[in-house]
Structure 1
Amino acid sequence: MLESVTNGLEVSIMRVTNKMIMNNSASNINSAKEVVNTRNKQMTSQKRIDKPSDDPVIAVRSLRLATTLSQVSQYYSKNIPDANQWLDITETALINIKDVATDCKTICVGGSTDSYNSQSDRKTMLTQLESLQKALFAEGNADYANRTVFTGYRTNSNLTFTEDETKTKYRIDQTLSIEDLMEEHRYYSGNVVVPTTEAEVIAPKDNATLISDITETDYYRLRLNYKDIDSVNSINIKYEGNTSDTPDISFAFTETNGVYNDDTSGGALTSNGFSLRVYENETDWANADTTDKVKKVENNEIVFIRQTGDIIFGDTVASTLKTNKAELAVQYDKTGFKEGQLRPEYYYNCTKMIDSTGATLTSNNEYTKFDANGNVIHFDIEYTIAANQTIAINTEASDVFDSSLQRDLDEMMNAVQRVIAAYDKLDTIQGMKSETQYASDEDQEWLDKWQDAAQKEYDYYNNNMRKLFDSEIGNIQSYCDKITLALTDLGCKEQSLSLTKVRVGDQRETVQQLQTENDDVDLSQIIIDYTAAYTAYQASLTAAGKLGDSTLLNYI
């Protein structure tokens, strides 16, 4: 440091050495090189920053925009298309089921008129009904990416039994509304047995064999969604307005080692002035009338048929239940399910007691479809399709269809089979009248009586088939209406998805634009900046080089 006095002022003059100049030059060169390096990185990556410390504000904003873009892209590219495909699979399956139901309705229209008069026509109709029944709920197992679409969140299980399971046993709780489900039904007693010999033809003459006379009785009934029941365990009936835990009418059987004994041959169960009798099949029911062998229900009586799953009411019982808008809760056991039948766990509170191998289950075997208040528990699969927006993309089978249509087809086929069998009897007897072995007047007289009985049976069953098919037109239409409503709901969901996809797509473009403006650099501008930085760097190198050429020797 040099000091001097000028005009009375003391001035300090710093001594600058060559080393100091060279150090400053090197520092400036490095600074220029850093700028060149930064501009080079920006030009090659086209990004504003290379690491967060370059500009924390841009870095934070970039992270937020990247997160938002990732979420929006997930909605747009994966969630919404996946939901759309799920809805498409569901829609196709429902349309196919509706087509089957529509075909059933077409057959009903023909069966309720004179369209199926010949025996061959009736056999063709029976074959068609059998095929439609098999195809009916095959679509119920429709799946998307190996996930069944009608089974709620239990997507790894089929809706129906895919093969006969003769050992599988369920204990099922089913609740039936008297007002909605009670219907009048025709029951027939008597069966014409065609004689095969002359002795059998004239046997009624000596009262050795009576010609059966068919009888029709009409009663109100409820029908379970399954037939071939092992046992009815309990029936509890509540009138409208009864909010207590005590039913107005209650029948309960005794359980021993997990098996209920519902045998009422020793006497009917009684409750509140009404009685309950249980029969294995309709033949046992008819045989209970030891005099006429007619299927009868006393006014205050309820009859349960295990084979058909029918709960049949006497006139007084039916009137009382309808007046009080009663609800009937029945628990029953069923062993053995056929291929195509719906699994109970998707429709009822039930317990799977024995699996398909015959093994008894003691845990993880209870299924709940209704809560304690009787409200349906839904098993929705929800997709997030936008920020704070979800959509339930699955349609549960219980909301669209149940076993009622299957049971209707069963009864329609039984009705057709009865007509076919009755016509064969009539045709056989008519053929016997032309045979020489029955040419006597006595044989012809008795064959006329046999023919009259067979004709009456045929007329009854043919009339029953037409009435049944006529009533099924309305029933099947109600099933189709329910499916149509589900299809409409699917259409609304698809429309909502479409609108959401447009909105999310616009949002994605906006976020992408914001991300570009935040993260990316203008290529033309960065080229200019890079060129300027590189020029400055080259100039600093040139200046430093010239500075190094000058020493004290140049001035000596």
Structure 2
Amino acid sequence: MRMTNKIMQNNSLYNINNNKLLEDKLSTMMSTHKKITRPSDDPVIAIRALRLRTSVAELTQYYEKNAPDAESWLEVTEGALKTVTDVLTEMSKQANKAANKDLEPSELEIIIGQLKALRDEVYSTGNTDYAGRYIFTGYRTDTTLSFEDDVNDQPKGYPRYEITEQVKIEDFDTINYTDRDVLNGITKDNYKDSAYNGAIEQGILNDENSNIHRLRLSYDGISADGVMEKSKITLPAGTQIKHGDGKVETLSANTDVTLIAGTKAELNNGTLTLSEGTSITLDDGSTVTLEAAANVTMPAGAEIVNANGEPEIATNTTTGTVTLTGFTQTQQFMGETVNTVSVTNDPDPYKQIYEANKKGDNLVIMIPETGEILFSNEAYKEIEKKAQTQPEMAITYRKDSWEKGDLRPEHYFACTGTTKSKDGTDKTINYNQEYLRGEGKKQVIEYDVGYNQKIQINTTADEVFGHAIDRDIDDLENALEELKEIEAIRNELDGVLKGLDEEKDADYEVALKRYEAADKAYSYIRENIHNMFGKTITKMQEHLDDTNVALTDNGTRNQRLDLISNRLMDQRTTFKTLQSENEDIDIAEVVVKLTSAELTYNSALMATGKIMQTSLMNYI
């Protein structure tokens, strides 16, 4: 084969270029510290790099962001719970101090004042937030646990709440009542009046009828409407209703349903015409609409708003367009009629129950100011019987006046809240309706902290911040007020007695009897407060136990998170090592190769230059 200069030149340039490309590749590897610059360089490395980079990115997200965020939330929760623990411990100490029978009412008043301040601190701690999110309010992280200001816009009353409490027979308790009515209104000026002839020791009563069964609601200051039942209407068989999923059902039998408050309907002589699309609630709590208009009978005594916007009670002669409130005037609990009686009534509600116990009457009284439902012995026996077949009972009531520190009901109960919209119309929100169907679940917030791994970060309000703390202090405060009243009477009569001479003054005997009656009443009430403080010690310890359990659970989650974080760190290190082994170069090896390539390249240039100086003409 004839070898020309052109062939030699082309071969030399080709080989030099290959050396240059190799040198360039090695130089790029040195500058990037990576084995490849494009997927086509090595598809296997490229595919593995994508997988490993994804794994490292996810582990970095978990380790550097999710886990620290979860840890911060848990640490904030821990700090709040420790504060509550300290406060409850102090409350227990104060209650223990107050259990001393030798303390005067003025001293008890100081202690109760301290208990109230400590109670406020407990609920204030419940409003702790993390990065603007309230940590104890479940999914409602934008809503405080308690009201931050007084809300009392009567008669509008916003926000108004219709609250349904679900209780059991174990929630009932007893309170002690001392019948001291014979001393009501007595003073140093009128103690001799014949109206007070019964104001003697025998007239002060505290016996087996004095222990009154009570169901204490979670709130006081509730609406005077009392305990209410929602208006029920009966849809006749054949009525078509449409469920939320669009499914139409034809009722095969007469069916009781609940009216939705605010529904407009035509009422003609007691017959209610519900239009197509009217919303109603089935017994399971689900909301449906009427597929077609239906005529039903209005419940007796149902409350409506007439066409003039005025409230009235529907009768069999009422006609016109009405708005249904969703309530009846009949107040019942477990089939027992509930009577609303104010604490200012004469006789007061406790006295009425006491008398019912003596007579063996069936009587139930609701006190709106204190949020208590009182039961005579006979009424309580009936409730006990019914509780055997219906262990969970529901009570619905309204409250539209709130004080700073009151717990918001939407965090605890199935309720309906009504507020004012910007346009001035009522805005109603239903909260936790699933509770009524027995489907209530904790509003647990979980963070992803690993592959298919989640951890709960929140503690819910019901675990720590119960209504009982506030209501127990209310009971003590009410009992102290009664003690101070009887103390004032006793001190006034004692002053009268000291100003009389036993031998010379004929009124001495009368004053002595009145004083002895007041002293006996004082002893009964003082003993009751002593017992109440004893129970308060136990209750505070129970609250403290609940808080310690929540604190322990929170600490357990934190420990688990530490273990997960350590594992994430190890996993990330492992995957980063694999990623480096897959992508990164061995610098020493590449340096040697690059140096060799440079030397080869330079040598090739020199050799080619020498060769190309000679041509075939030199051999002719």
Same fold (TM over 0.5): yes
Quote the residue 2:303 is aligned against: 255
1:86 aligns with 2:73: yes
Larger Rg: 1
For the pair 1:533 / 2:597, whether they are aligned, the reply is yes
**Counterparts of 1:367 and 1:80 in 2: how far apart (Å)?**
32
For the Cα contact (< 8 Å) 1:189–1:293, is it kept in 2?
A: no
- Which residue of structure 2 aligns with residue 174 of structure 1? 165
1:75 to 58, 62, 70: 62
The equivalent of 1:9 in structure 2 is none
Rounded to whole Å, the distance in 1 between the matches of 2:226 and 2:104 is 41
2:38 to 51, 62, 72: 51
- C-alpha change, 1:357 and 1:280, in structure 2 (3 Å) is farther
Partner of 1:6: none
**2: CA distance, partners of 1:196 / 1:154:** 55
Q: Measure the CA separation in 1 of the matches of 2:537 and 2:179.
A: 26
Q: Are residues 1:137 and 2:137 paired?
A: no
Find the counterpart in structure 1 of residue 242 from structure 2: none
Residue 380 in 1 paired to residue 444 in 2? yes
Counterpart position of 1:148: 134
**Superposed displacement of residue 437, structure 1:** 12
- Residue 379 (structure 2) pairs with residue 317 (structure 1): yes
Give the C-alpha shift of residue 211 in structure 1: 4.5
Partners of 1:513 and 1:29 in 2: CA distance: 37
Once residues 481 and 387 of structure 1 are traced to their aligned partners in structure 2, the CA distance between those partners, rounded to angstroms, is: 35
The CA deviation at 1:443 is 4.2
- Structure 2 distance, partners of 1:489, 1:313, is 39
Name the CA distance, whole Å, in 1 between partners of 2:450 and 2:146.
34
Pick one of 226, 235, 238 that aligns with 1:232. 226
CA distances 1:239-276 after superposition (whole Å, capped 9, x unpaired): xxxxx969xxxx99743343857588xxxx6986x443
**Letter in structure 1 aligned against 2:384:** K
Q: How far 1:189 sits from its partner (Å)?
A: 4.2
Query: Unaligned stretches of 5+ in structure 1?
Result: 1-12, 237-243
Letter in 1 for 2:607: A
Structure 2 residue aligned with 1:303: 365
2:176 aligns with: 186
Between the aligned partners of 1:55 and 1:76, the Cα distance in structure 2 is: 31
- Quick one: which amino acid aligns to residue 610 of structure 2? K
Is residue 497 of structure 1 aligned with residue 561 of structure 2? Answer: yes
* Other-structure match for 1:107: 94
CA contact 1:233–1:252 (8 Å) conserved in 2:
no
| 1:314-393 correspondence to structure 2 within 5 Å | 314-323=376-385, 324-325=387-388, 326-354=391-419, 361-363=426-428, 365-368=429-432, 370-393=434-457
Q: Could you say what secondary structure the match of 1:82 adopts?
A: helix
Aligned-residue offset at 1:282: 6.1
RMSD (Å) for aligned C-alpha atoms = 3.2
Q: CA deviation at 1:322?
A: 2.7
The alpha-carbon distance between structure 1 residues 478 and 356, as it changes in their structure 2 partners (threshold 3 A), is: farther
Residues 46 and 271 of structure 1: CA distance in aligned 2, closer, same or farther (over 3 Å): closer
SS of aligned partner of 2:415: strand
1:555 shift after superposition: 4.0
Distance 1:83 1:295, change over 3 A: farther
Matching of residues 206-217 of structure 1 within 5 Å: 207=195, 211=199, 214-216=204-206, 217=210
Is this contact kept in 2: 1:126–1:417, CA < 8 A?
no
Q: Secondary structure at the match of 2:161?
A: strand
Residues 299-331 of structure 1: CA deviation (Å, up to 9, x unaligned):
432222111111222222322333443432111
SS of the counterpart of 1:549? coil
**Distance in 1 of aligned mates of 2:423 and 2:99:** 44
Distance 1:501 1:16 in 2: 71
The amino acid that maps onto 2:397 is Y
Distance 1:537 1:122, change over 3 A: same
Structure 1: distance between partners of 2:580 and 2:463: 48
Greater Cα shift, 498-507 or 452-461:
452-461
Taking a change above 3 Å as real, the CA distance of residues 547 and 496 of structure 1, as seen in their structure-2 partners, is same
- 1:239 aligns to what? none
Q: Distance in 1 between matches of 2:452 and 2:349?
A: 66
CA separation of 1:458 and 1:147: change in aligned 2, threshold 3 A: same
For 2:588, which of 524, 529, 536 is the aligned residue?
524
Q: How many residues are treated as equivalent by the alignment?
A: 519
Deviation per CA, 1:210-252, whole angstroms, max 9, x where unpaired? Answer: 759554422211111011111234369xxxxxxx969xxxx99
Report the counterpart of residue 159 of structure 1 in structure 2: 145
Gap change, CA 1:359 and 1:176, over 3 Å in 2: farther
Query: Do the aligned partners of 2:356 and 2:362 also contact (CA within 8 Å) in 1?
Result: no
CA contact 1:190–1:293 (8 Å) conserved in 2: no
* Residues 1:389 and 1:140: Cα distance change in structure 2 (over 3 Å): same
Cα distance in 2 between the residues matched to 1:65 and 1:469: 65
Secondary structure of residue in 1 paired with 2:401: strand
